Amino acid sequence: MNILVIGSGGREHCLVWKISKSPLVDKIYAAPGNAGIAGIAECIKIDASKENFQEIAELVRDKQVELTVVGPEAPLVDGIVDYFNKEGLKIFGPDRKAATIEGSKVFTKEFLQRNNIPTPGGVVLEKKDYKKARDYIEERKKFPVVIKADGLAAGKGVVIARDKSQAMEAVEDCFIKSKFGVSGDRIIIEDFLDGYELSVLSLCDGKNIVPMTPAQDYKRIFDNDRGENTGGMGSYSPVPMVDDKTYGRILDEIIFPAYSAMLEEDIKYKGVLYAGIMVSSGEPYLLEYNCRFGDPETQVILPRLKDDLLPLLLECAEGNLNREEVRWDSNRCVCVVAASEGYPRSSSKGDVIKGLESYNDSQDIIIFHAGTKVESGNIVTNGGRVFSVVSRATSFKEAREKIYSAMGKIKFIGIQYRKDIALKAERSE
């Protein structure tokens, strides 16, 4: 069968890579793809903006695509699944109503509170409440505090304000400077929880939910979680600090009851439901939902998946996910993201990347492209997060040694990456 994967990041390269291993696949297309995806799929230069939904549907018919897999959140929030459903085309992902779970943090916060799902306390404020927001911060005694823009912000709409000054600045960025556009017209000021985060992605078919193996990602640009938030600078799986008892509580107190509540509220969620979990003083809380595969979590989850991914995606899209679990190998998997100079505030483009060819046939190192393109015969940078380097090994120590050896051999001007990915996991083994 022919498959179309929508998107151009490391997540989409990983999806294409995993799908390509299925014996069910004849050909894979990607829109728009990137330089790495072009090695295993035919890339077609169409972006998934709302005005291009018709063109993408025409592409699907022309290429006889039997399943479209949506990577990024924006087209899902914009309703690409609704459009495809009306056209009678099979697609993996939630419809517009279900995708609101990521499209509006306010919607999600109110949903969680309404259904007694453990989540940090918080208040919702609108742009017209700018003075009220400032007064709230001025009167608040306890810091840090978390400030979240309501809408999509490419993973950068969350600020952990360490004091009143930082909190005031974050509110001003949303309400006065419109740093996040309309996404910042409403905000949540949320209690800060100290602990550790993990990501739990689940496959959903509108009735059933099957959790996947946990992963942990790194959102800050610099080592030791310093600097600004990014779309994600690395990840690893499994998460050794999460024991069976804690994971069971996450499933029984958050994942399963929240999905049941969605069904009760007539939200028929299909696709991947990504839960951002905080474990604080042994208690699990749901921080946020995302309506798609995580990036860079996907790059450490799918390489550990022993099952054929494509039938799972089809079962979700068709509403017949009739299994209780999927199978995982025991390897440790680590992902380090290489970003361009200036990221996350800006990005350098057109810098030649050297050393990638050394890992074309490697079994130990997998490179998933993101912000890359081919220019004058060279692979060059074309965005903030440029590529993900992934390693698999029997221990985190070995996986880290492999990955950082590779990072030292792949170069471009201004390359930046964290040196502490999975270090805590290594020390916990």
In Å, the largest CA–CA distance within the chain is: 62
What is the arithmetic mean of pLDDT over 389-410?
Answer: 97
Pairing verdict, β 234-237 and 216-217: antiparallel
Per residue in 274-328, pLDDT (tens digit) is: 999 999 999 999 999 999 999 999 999 999 999 999 999 999 999 999 888 999 9
Q: Given a cut of 90, is residue 363 above it in pLDDT?
A: no
pLDDT on residue 322: 87
Q: Which residues contact 137 (CB under 8 A, 6 or more apart)?
A: 145, 164, 167, 168, 171, 189
pLDDT score of 157 more than 90: no
Cβ neighbour number for residue 363 with a 10 Å cutoff: 7
Q: Which tokens belong to 123?
A: 């208040």
Q: Which of 91-100, 146-155, 332-341, 393-402 has the lowest mean pLDDT?
A: 146-155
Residue whose C-alpha is closest to residue 287's, from 275, 298, 296: 275
E strands, 115-218, are 122-126, 145-149, 158-161, 186-191, 196-205, 209-211, 216-217
Q: Burial letters for 54-70: b for 16+ Cβ neighbours within 10 Å, e otherwise?
A: eebbebbeeeebbbbbb
> With pLDDT > 70 as the criterion, what percentage of the chain qualifies?
100
pLDDT at 36 over 90: yes
DSSP 353: P
Q: Which fold has domain 332-428?
A: Glycinamide Ribonucleotide Synthetase; Chain A, domain 4 (3.90.600)
By mean pLDDT, which of 58-67, 116-125, 156-165, 213-222 is the weakest? 156-165
Whether residue 338 contacts residue 386, with contact meaning beta carbons closer than 8 Å, is answered with yes
Percentage of the chain lying above the pLDDT 90 cut: 93
CB distance 204 to 157 below 8 Å: no
The model's pLDDT over 110-152, given as tens digits with 9 standing for 90+, comes to: 999 999 999 999 999 999 989 999 999 999 989 999 999 999 8
Three-state SS at 171: helix
32 — pLDDT class (breaks 50, 70, 90)? very high
Name the residue type at position 181.
Answer: G
Q: Kindly report the average pLDDT of the chain as a whole number.
A: 96
Q: Nearest-CA neighbor of 154 among 344, 14, 288?
A: 344
Task: Give the model's pLDDT for residue 368.
Answer: 98
DSSP 411: B
Domain 196-318 part of CATH 3.50.50.60: no
Is the pLDDT at 166 greater than 90? The verdict is yes
- The residue written with tokens 């994600």 in the block is 232
What is the number of other CB atoms lying within 10 angstroms of the CB of residue 206? 21
Q: What is the pLDDT of residue 229?
A: 86
* Residue 25: pLDDT over 90: yes
Is 122-191 in CATH node 3.30.1490.20? Answer: yes
Write down the domain spans for the chain: 2-93, 122-191, 196-318, 332-428
pLDDT at 154 over 80: no
- The CATH code of domain 2-93 reads 3.40.50.20
What pLDDT score does 429 carry?
86
Q: Which residue has the tokens 């309309």?
A: 182
What six digits make up the tokens of 126?
């609108």
Provide the pLDDT confidence category of residue 80 given band limits of 50, 70 and 90: very high
pLDDT at 6 over 80: yes
Q: Are strands 196-205 and 270-280 parallel, antiparallel or unpaired?
A: antiparallel
Residue-wise pLDDT for 256-278, tens only, equals 999 999 999 999 999 999 999 99
Band (pLDDT 50/70/90 cuts) for residue 364 is confident
Asked if domains 122-191 and 196-318 share a fold, the reply is: no
The single-letter DSSP state of residue 292 is S
